[in-house]
Amino acid sequence: MERKTMTNFRWKVAWLIFAISFVSYMDRVNLSVATPVIMQEFGFTKIDMGLIQSFFFAGYALFQVPGGMMAERFGHRLTGSLAVVWWSVFTALTAVASGKFSFATVRLLFGVGEAPIYPAAAIAGHRWFNKGEKGKVSSFILNGCFFGPVVGPAVTVALMAALGWKAVFWLFGVIGVLLGVLWFKFVPDNPKQSPYVNEAELEHINDGRENTVEAKEIAPWGKLLKSSQFWSLGLQFMITDYIMYVFLAWLPLYLMEVHGFSLSKMGLWAAAPWLSLMAVVSCCGYLSDKAIAAGFSQNLVKTSTGAVGILLCACTLFIATRTADPMMNVFWLSVALGSLGLTMSASWSSVISMGGRFAGSVSGWMNFWGNIGGVLAPSVTAWVATTYGWQAALAVTAVSGIAGAVLWLFVKPDKAIV
């Protein structure tokens, strides 16, 4: 009997994950790019804007673990779709904010809504993909995030020029709601429930799994909190995300204030470091899966990738602080953020393999610590830049990478936490 051709609907799910990740980061980039205009319109200082951005990260960080538990308890389908709709509503409401308090409140609630989506995506990655595809699917999650900052500055500047800054937030609010509906319709909790997945694809997804029928259950937090792996994974990601969020929150203003870029020139060149990051993440996910399939251990591949990436980022970011030429500065910033892509890719593929059926809680924990870094990055960077200058702010960011590299020695990504 002829074997039926396998469908590949799981990769359409991967592209939907990419799209949702893209919009989630566009919604963050939009505020960063609009910062100079908002500061001028409302008379905000850099410290005011740093605090407003920190309110988003506070809400986002605090609801990471509850978001992961929700995704495990209620499924990634319902949790993910509600999260996308919630944050999209508050993205739109950014346009009606009129002062520090209202901006901070809206961004706080935006962060609360966005918190469950990456735990939900991690669970979908575990349930919808073969164990040999974890690196590739983590690339879809990450590249969606990083494609936002690639096109975000240019797109947001163009929309602001044509329609004003408020229209940007209304538009992306509507797009987000539509994506939430698509997630609910096309990504059930078990691929077996999808009419678009045939038996051959389902067999491929489940190949090598010990348990193909997974009950919705809460992670054993007592065991998790006693694990040194669990803590090392979270703390290294706090440093990784701290560095990334310095770029996300302040790169546009840095290029304008330090190197004299115009708004339109900034919209073009602020994308370069994020394009570098995307390229590295794409290659790293593919090559990581290939190396593991060739017989190299997960521990060797992911630990070396994670540690080397953040060390290289730290070194090249420090070089950027000593580079006065604008274009060479952009070059070194691009190498720095691109290097961080090695660590990002290793982190997210490790979450899926280390967490297994509890990938929602483990990714929520990692992202919780990552966004503690996100809470600190806008405000700490604003204070250092205001007090000592931008180059000092970048130097402080670079030095933090050394601790991140050391922590990777204790992650042990080849060993399941539970």
Q: How confident is the model over 378-403, as pLDDT tens digits?
A: 889 989 999 999 999 999 999 999 99
What CATH architecture is 9-206+216-410? Answer: Up-down Bundle (1.20)
- Looking at per-residue confidence, does 146 or 366 come out higher? 366
Instruction: Give yes or no for residue 205 having a pLDDT over 70.
Output: yes
Separation of first and last alpha carbons in the chain: 41
CB 284 within 8 A of CB 390: no
Side-chain-side CA neighbours of 301 within 13 Å: the count stands at: 21
Percentage of the residues of the chain whose pLDDT score is greater than 70: 97
Sorted by where each begins, the domain ranges of the chain are: 9-206+216-410
| Alpha helices in 1-133, H assignment, sequence order | 9-42, 46-62, 64-74, 76-93, 100-114, 117-128
Q: Does residue 418 register a pLDDT over 90? A: no
> Which pairs from 383-392 meet CB under 8 Å and 24+ separation?
383/47, 383/50, 385/46, 385/250, 385/254, 386/45, 386/46, 386/47, 390/254, 390/257, 390/258, 391/258, 391/321, 391/322, 392/321
Q: What is the spatial distance between Cα 263 and Cα 37, in angstroms, rounded to a whole number?
A: 10
Q: Which residue shows structure tokens 């990740």? A: 21
Question: 165 and 39 in contact (C-beta within 8 Å)?
Answer: no
User: Contact, 412 vs 230, CB < 8 A?
Assistant: no
Confidence category of residue 335, pLDDT binned at 50, 70, 90: very high
Whether residue 2 is predicted with pLDDT greater than 50 in this model: the reply is no
pLDDT at 374 over 60: yes
Residues 6+ apart with CB under 8 A from 233: 347, 350, 351, 354, 362, 365, 366, 411
Name which of 90, 77, 78 is nearest 27 in CA terms: 90
> What's the pLDDT at 177?
96
Task: Note whether 36 and 263 are within 8 A (CB).
Answer: yes
Q: Using 50, 70 and 90 to split pLDDT, how confident is the model at 212?
A: low
Phi and psi at 4, nearest 5°, equal -70, 140
pLDDT at residue 240 is higher than 90 = yes
